[in-house]
């Protein structure tokens, strides 16, 4: 293990454009650097960049030299502003019958600005190899609470199209209507819809002291990647590391006011963004949105299982599109089946927070930027009931507040 000189100064926060440019430069260096006949990019199992520090999880051939690789990458990345590289290395198993080629010392950290390495401590002459270096992922229990936010609630779904974002915005407005200070973070990086649903799609967030100022959306403190794009048709075609970096920048580089609740609209599924959130944002609990349909329930189960494994409490299940009432004849029909939300809530011993109808009025209100709770229409009581159920259960999962934390 080698630890070289640490950087002497703390870099300023990056703008979204600077972040994108540096991420692209890192991608190009990794693609162009070869170990044997293969690009090292094909050996990366995990990547995380925080400003001028880069962390790489690598699975390298057993005959490679991690120390040399680390030094060479440091020289290549130095012109792009990367000063420190952390490498967590696993070597491929040697062929059966071959002797172990694991080095006695594996590099962990290097400073790309350093041209000469410090001499390593002498090692024992024994042939025992050190185990591969691994880096334990942060856990929810180890994450400090945000100094301005009392509760962070994530609204998630196993699949798209179940009404997750519509439910998110109405729950946030309902919590506000109950007298709480509420913010909304749109973490659906690839399909941001909060600005449109709240009628602020033409408003751009301001910057103060290199911090985003949330947009005031009907009293909600709202921030979305959609508010930073050039237009409604601009695609977010980002790889996982860049998308997760954007999420963390929206969370950390924002001057959030004092909030009782920050409601986060998650992308569907159980991918990189969900895992990053679970490891780096102190979440009070998750709300799962599903429809009664069997396929949606299967995916919702995967979402609950992921939150259970990452120690994020599930506050309950919201069953959307439970019943449809015909606007012509008033006939009521369960188009997507019945009892699905209740069944999954019972299976995982969590509350069924509420059931929502399949109604064109709910859709029409968010399309024009005035969600049902804001419009106080006939569907608003459904969301208010869900918000009350969340409030009734959330304190048992609350994280201690750290008023001394300084960003």
Residue ranges of domains in the chain? 16-111, 140-397
- Strand-pair partners of 61: none
Which of the 8 DSSP states describes residue 65?
-
CATH of 140-397, picked from 3.40.50.1100, 3.40.190.80, 3.40.50.300, 2.40.40.20, is 3.40.50.300
Contact 175, 390 (CB under 8 A): yes
Name the residue with tokens 């024009």.
368
Q: Which helix (H) or strand (E) holds 259?
A: strand 259-265
Q: What is the pLDDT along the chain (407 residues), one digit of tens a residue?
A: 222 223 334 345 677 777 777 888 888 888 888 888 788 888 888 888 888 888 888 888 888 888 889 889 989 999 988 988 888 888 765 544 444 333 334 444 444 444 444 444 444 444 444 444 444 567 787 888 899 999 999 999 988 889 999 999 999 999 999 999 999 999 888 888 999 999 999 999 998 888 899 999 999 999 998 888 766 666 676 777 778 888 888 898 899 999 999 999 998 887 888 888 888 899 999 999 999 988 888 989 999 999 998 899 999 999 999 888 777 777 777 778 788 889 999 999 999 999 999 999 999 999 999 999 999 999 999 999 999 999 998 887 766 554 444 43
Name the residue with tokens 């950290």.
109
Residue 339 CB contacts under 8 Å (≥ 6 apart), including other chains: 292
Which of the 8 DSSP states describes residue 126?
S
Contact 369, 203 (CB under 8 A): no
Contact 78, 29 (CB under 8 A): no
Q: Is 16-111 assigned to CATH 3.30.230? A: no
The long-range contacts involving 5-13, CB below 8 angstroms and separated by at least 24 positions, are: 5/111, 5/113, 5/114, 5/118, 6/84, 6/111, 7/52, 7/83, 7/84, 7/111, 7/113, 11/51, 11/52, 11/81, 12/210, 13/51, 13/210, 13/211, 13/253
Per-residue tokens: 321: 């599109």
């Amino acid at each position: 293990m080698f630890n070289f000189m640490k950087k002497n100064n703390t870099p300023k926060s990056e703008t979204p454009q600077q972040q994108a440019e540096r991420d692209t430069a890192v991608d190009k260096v990794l693609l162009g650097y070869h170990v044997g006949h293969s690009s090292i990019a094909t050996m990366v199992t995990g990547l995380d960049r925080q400003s001028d520090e880069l962390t790489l999880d690598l699975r390298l051939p057993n005959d490679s030299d991690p120390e040399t690789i680390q030094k060479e990458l440091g020289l290549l990345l130095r012109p792009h502003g990367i000063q420190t590289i952390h490498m967590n290395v696993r070597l491929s198993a040697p062929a059966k019958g071959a002797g172990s080629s694991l080095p006695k010392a594996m590099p962990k950290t290097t400073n790309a600005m350093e041209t000469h390495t410090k001499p390593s401590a002498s090692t024992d002459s024994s042939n025992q190899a050190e185990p591969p270096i691994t880096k334990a992922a942060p856990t929810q229990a180890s994450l400090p609470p945000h100094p301005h936010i009392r509760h962070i609630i994530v609204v998630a779904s196993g699949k798209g199209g179940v009404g997750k974002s519509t439910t998110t915005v109405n729950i946030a407005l309902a919590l506000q209507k109950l007298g709480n200070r509420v913010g909304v973070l749109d973490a659906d990086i690839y399909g941001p819809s909060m600005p449109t649903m709240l009628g602020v799609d033409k408003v751009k967030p301001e910057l103060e002291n290199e911090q985003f100022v949330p947009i005031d959306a009907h009293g909600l403190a709202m921030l979305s990647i959609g508010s930073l794009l050039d237009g409604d048709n601009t695609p977010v075609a980002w790889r996982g590391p860049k998308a997760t970096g954007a999420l963390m920048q929206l969370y950390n580089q924002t001057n959030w006011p004092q909030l009782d609740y920050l409601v986060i609209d998650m992308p569907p599924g159980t991918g990189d963004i969900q895992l990053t959130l679970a490891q780096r944002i102190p979440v009070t609990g998750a709300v799962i949105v599903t429809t009664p349909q069997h396929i949606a329930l299967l995916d919702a189960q995967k979402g609950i299982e992921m939150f259970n494994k990452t120690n994020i409490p599930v506050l309950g299940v919201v069953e959307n599109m439970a019943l449809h009432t015909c606007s012509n004849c008033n006939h009521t029909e369960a188009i997507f089946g019945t009892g699905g939300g209740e069944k999954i809530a019972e299976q995982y011993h969590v509350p069924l927070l509420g059931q929502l109808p399949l109604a064109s009025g709910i859709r029409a209100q968010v399309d024009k930027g005035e969600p049902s709770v804001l419009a106080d229409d006939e569907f608003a009581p459904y969301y208010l009931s869900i918000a009350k159920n969340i409030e009734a259960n959330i304190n048992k999962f609350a994280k201690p507040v750290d008023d001394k934390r300084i960003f």
